């Protein structure tokens, strides 16, 4: 499954990129693009190649073949080095100077970008990630969730154009998850593009505009989330005692339907609109109390897509 999109707005592109470790291809002919000012989710099972993909785009690892372009600069060129400085990243576990305070960690990061120690951006980013009150504490005393927040602060403080976040909600409490989601969702409005990977598909579904799904280093789906999570049927509720009549009417019309103990009937209607089903039921003397589209969630789509290729060579 893939959707063609204009390439002019792409800030990052992978073209037939392969990265091997020994005889294993961690990334295998991977190609995808990330649109400017979008929030893109990079999904895949453990070992699918997500972290390797992120390391490749940040220049931390070099591909064996294929081309990576970041802000129009090809990997391996001097311009690519400059392009990497326009990113902010959090890859795998938070990388922090344990014996320095939260504020000192951010000051060090800022110094690398020519931002002074008294720049208001430092206080602003501490406020954004909710660590203002702990700015003088050493990072070694922080919980995993606080380290995640710190790592995010380091990724954002220099106001990069592309933010790369690997499992950003790991260790966050429910309130932190919501804050992180809102923060990531706000990045495009601030002129930033985000590439986010997570195992929490429900959260990704609520956070991203586009998704890239990889399995064993290969692309299996790419595009706007709305086009990947498609409507696949209708869920309806009928008054008590009308269930059998509704099922019979749907069956007679060639629609596969299943009744559930909670009173719902799920009908696989394909492309037929809800109004057609409503009329069909009304003709049979059944008037539904509720009728809504049945949307596949990202989890089921993901499991479908990643499982369908198992056993392939």
Partner 1 sequence: MFAAELLKIRSMPAPRLTLIITLALVVVSAVIVVVIGPEGSASKAYYEVPDLVAQVIIAIGAIVLGAWIFGLEFSSKTLRLAATVQPSRQQLVLVKLLSAVLLLIAYVVGVMAITLLLEAILASVGSVAFPFGQQLDNALSAGVEALLWGVFAFGLALLFRSYTAGLVATLVLALGVDTGLQQIPTVGKYSLGSAASSVGDAITGDAATLALGVALLAVAAWLIVVIGAGAARFITRDLK
CA dist., res. 107 & res. 183, Å (int): 21
Q: Supply the DSSP symbol for 193.
A: E
Nearest approach in angstroms of CB 97 to partner 1 is 6
Contact flag: residue 27 with partner 1 (CB under 8 A): no
In the block, residue with structure tokens 């190649």:
49
Give the chain's count of helices (H) and strands (E). Answer: 11, 14
Contact flag: residue 214 with partner 1 (CB under 8 A): no
Site for partner 1 in 149-178 (CB under 8 A): 154
List 11, 42, 50, 55, residue binding partner 1 (CB under 8 A): 55
Nearer to partner 1, 98 or 182 (CB): 98
List 5, 15, 108, 299, residue binding partner 1 (CB under 8 A): 108
Nearer to partner 1, 103 or 181 (CB): 103
Nearest approach in angstroms of CB 113 to partner 1 is 7
Binding residues for partner 1, how many (CB under 8 A)?
A: 31
Nearer to partner 1, 117 or 279 (CB): 117
Nearest approach in angstroms of CB 117 to partner 1 is 8
Cα–Cα distances (Å) from 40 to 9, 37, 69, in that order, read: 13, 9, 16
Contact flag: residue 22 with partner 1 (CB under 8 A): no
List 59, 171, 223, 263, residue binding partner 1 (CB under 8 A): 59
Contact flag: residue 118 with partner 1 (CB under 8 A): no
Contact flag: residue 188 with partner 1 (CB under 8 A): no
Binding-residue pattern over the window 34 to 53 for partner 1, x denoting contact by CB under 8 A: --------------------
Nearest approach in angstroms of CB 194 to partner 1 is 16
Nearer to partner 1, 109 or 269 (CB): 109
Give the torsion through C-alpha atoms of 237, 238, 240, 241, to 10 deg.
Answer: -130
Nearest approach in angstroms of CB 164 to partner 1 is 9
CA dist., res. 111 & res. 108, Å (int): 5
Nearest approach in angstroms of CB 88 to partner 1 is 8
Question: Which H or E run includes 10?
Answer: strand 10-21
Burial of 238 (0-12, 13-18, 19+ CB in 10 A): buried
Site for partner 1 in 66-105 (CB under 8 A): 80-81, 84-85, 87, 89, 91, 93, 95-101, 104
SS3 for 39-106 is EEEEECCCCCCHHHHHHHHCCCCCCCEEEEEECCEECCCHHHHHHHCCEEEECCCCCCCCCCEHHHHH
Nearest approach in angstroms of CB 176 to partner 1 is 22
CA dist., res. 223 & res. 237, Å (int): 33
Nearer to partner 1, 45 or 61 (CB): 61
Burial 202-215 (b: 16+ CB within 10 A, else e): ebbbebbbbbbbbb
CA dist., res. 206 & res. 225, Å (int): 10
**Other C-beta atoms within 10 Å of 58: how many?**
17
Per CB under 8 A, residues contacting partner 1 are 55, 58-62, 80-81, 84-85, 87, 89, 91, 93, 95-101, 104, 107-109, 111-114, 117, 154
């Amino acid at each position: 499954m893939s959707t063609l999109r204009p390439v002019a707005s792409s800030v990052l592109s992978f073209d037939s990129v392969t990265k091997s470790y020994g005889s294993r291809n961690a990334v295998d002919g991977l190609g995808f693009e990330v649109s400017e000012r979008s929030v893109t989710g990079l999904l895949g099972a453990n070992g699918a190649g997500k972290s390797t993909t992120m390391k490749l785009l940040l220049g931390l690892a070099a591909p064996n073949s294929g081309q990576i372009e970041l802000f129009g600069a090809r990997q391996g060129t001097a311009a690519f080095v400059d392009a990497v400085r326009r990113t902010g990243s959090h890859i795998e576990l938070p990388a922090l100077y344990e014996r320095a305070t939260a504020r000192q960690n951010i000051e060090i990061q800022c110094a690398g970008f020519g931002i002074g120690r008294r720049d208001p951006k430092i206080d602003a980013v501490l406020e954004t990630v909710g660590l203002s009150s702990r700015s003088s504490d050493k990072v070694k005393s922080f919980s995993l969730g606080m380290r995640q927040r710190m790592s995010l602060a380091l990724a954002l403080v220099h106001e990069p154009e592309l933010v790369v976040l690997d499992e950003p909600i790991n260790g966050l409490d429910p309130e932190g998850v919501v804050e992180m989601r809102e923060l990531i969702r706000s990045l495009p409005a601030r002129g930033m593009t985000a590439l986010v990977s997570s195992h929490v598909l429900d959260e990704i579904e609520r956070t991203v505009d586009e998704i890239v799904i990889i399995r064993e280093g290969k692309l299996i789906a790419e595009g706007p989330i709305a086009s990947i999570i498609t409507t696949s049927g209708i869920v309806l509720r009928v008054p008590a005692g009308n269930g059998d009549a509704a099922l019979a009417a749907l069956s007679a019309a060639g629609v596969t339907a299943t009744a559930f103990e909670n009173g719902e009937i799920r009908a696989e209607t394909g492309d037929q609109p809800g109004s057609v089903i409503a009329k069909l039921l009304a003709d049979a003397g059944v008037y539904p109390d509720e009728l809504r589209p049945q949307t596949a969630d990202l989890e089921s789509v993901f499991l479908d897509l990643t499982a369908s290729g198992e056993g392939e060579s």
